[in-house]
């Protein structure tokens, strides 16, 4: 991701430990993988996660980013240790396509002007129908576009790029107030969540079929197209690449010290959330950087990052330190 600051040249990694995250066994992906599902209209997000949990036969599976029962589209399912990344999934920006119906005839130009004025930060009051119960909050609309408009049916199709936790029903209500007509959100489809978009999503039937083929015939190709490693979820984060020994220590919850770093993303400020990964590209932990990454070449020792969430199983890499009595 971006330019990397090389701190140690010619550092090697043990071929007998760890491995390419995109070559993990299916059983490993069940315990630390991500599934992108195209949620249908009707079930709640919790119901869909429960169905997937029972289908896969795993104990721990959650979802990131609640969709109301009437809404469809991208829903991220997190398997096993991937549930530790729920906050990162929830914080990702979202894209929706909403179908809105006005109670009376309105002017298209006025709709376009009103939508444009809503771009930026605005107060977002949760509607009564929302599946999430929270108080008034402000959210940022990065872009709001009118994709289609039919004056006879009084229907507008709108694409919204927004901050996580935005209520699109509230946007429809506000639009109605601005153009002098009640406005109802009648359809809502999420097309993007964080780094994932709808082109990568499967249906529950496709997941069921792929799992059947794997269990009955040992063919895992379908499942591999559906379940991806957690690393795919984290490609947007700045990185710190570490030695095998540092990865072993970090997998036990240790802080990251300067000698263990091989390279780091340039321009990352202290306090930023970073992905610590191995030389093979495996996620070790999510951590908070304690110094600016650009200062690392001038630092020889000391604490560089504090772990927030450990993702690697202890023992993936051999311990290279000795325990004191």
Highest mean pLDDT among 123-127, 166-170, 309-313: 309-313
Helix, strand, or coil here: 83? helix
The dotted CATH code for 4-20+237-310 is: 2.30.130.10
| Geometric angle at alpha carbon 306, from 304 and 307, rounded to 5° | 135
Mean pLDDT across 213-241 = 96
- For the chain, give the mean pLDDT: 92
**Fold classification of 32-90+197-231 (topology level):** Pseudouridine synthase (3.30.2350)
> In the predicted model, is pLDDT for residue 122 greater than 90?
no
Supply the pLDDT for residue 325.
39
pLDDT in tens, 12-29: 999 999 999 999 999 999
242-276 pLDDT per residue, tens? 999 999 999 999 999 999 999 999 999 999 999 99
Compute the distance between CA of residue 178 and CA of residue 300 in angstroms, rounded to an integer: 59
93-185 topology per CATH = Pseudouridine synthase (3.30.2350)
Structure tokens at 204: 């529950």
Residue ranges per structural domain of the chain: 4-20+237-310, 32-90+197-231, 93-185
pTM value?
Answer: 0.89
Question: Which member of 14, 25, 68, 219 is catalytic?
Answer: 68
The predicted structure's pLDDT at residue 324: 47
DSSP β-bridge partners for residue 277: 241, 283
Q: Which residue has the tokens 């004025």?
A: 117
Give how far Cα 67 sits from Cα of 71, 84, 137, 142, 275, Å. Answer: 6, 20, 18, 20, 27
pLDDT for 43-95, tens place per residue?
Answer: 999 999 999 999 999 999 999 888 999 999 999 999 999 999 999 998 889 99
Annotated catalytic residue 174: no
């Amino acid at each position: 991701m971006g330019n990397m600051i090389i701190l140690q040249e010619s550092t090697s990694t043990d071929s007998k430990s760890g491995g390419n995250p995109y070559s993990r066994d299916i059983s490993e992906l069940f315990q630390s993988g991500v599934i992108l599902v195209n949620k249908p209209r009707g079930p709640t997000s919790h119901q869909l996660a429960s169905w997937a949990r029972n289908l896969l036969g795993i104990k721990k599976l959650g979802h990131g980013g609640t969709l109301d029962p009437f809404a469809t589209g991208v829903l991220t399912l997190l398997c096993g240790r991937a549930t530790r990344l729920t906050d990162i999934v929830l914080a990702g920006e979202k894209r929706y396509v909403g179908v809105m119906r006005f109670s009376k005839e309105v002017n298209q130009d006025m709709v376009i002007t009103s939508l444009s004025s809503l771009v930026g930060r605005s107060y977002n009051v949760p509607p009564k129908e929302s599946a999430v119960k929270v108080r008034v909050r402000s959210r940022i609309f990065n872009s709001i576009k009118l994709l289609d408009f039919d004056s006879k049916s009084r229907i507008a199709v709108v694409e919204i790029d927004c901050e996580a936790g935005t209520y699109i029903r509230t946007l429809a209500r506000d639009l109605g107030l601005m153009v002098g007509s009640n406005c109802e959100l009648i359809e809502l489809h999420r097309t993007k969540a964080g780094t994932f978009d709808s082109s990568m999503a499967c249906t529950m039937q496709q997941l069921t079929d792929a799992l059947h083929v794997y269990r009955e015939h040992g063919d895992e190709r379908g499942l591999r197209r559906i379940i991806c490693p957690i690393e795919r979820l984290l490609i947007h984060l700045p990185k710190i690449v570490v030695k095998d020994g540092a990865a072993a220590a970090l997998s036990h919850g240790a802080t990251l010290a300067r000698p263990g770093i091989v390279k780091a993303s340039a321009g990352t400020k202290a306090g930023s959330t970073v992905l610590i990964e191995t030389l093979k590209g495996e996620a070790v932990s999510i951590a908070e950087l304690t110094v600016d990454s650009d200062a690392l070449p001038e630092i020889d020792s000391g604490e560089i990052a504090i772990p927030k969430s450990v993702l690697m199983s202890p023992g993936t890499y051999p311990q290279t330190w000795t325990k004191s009595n």
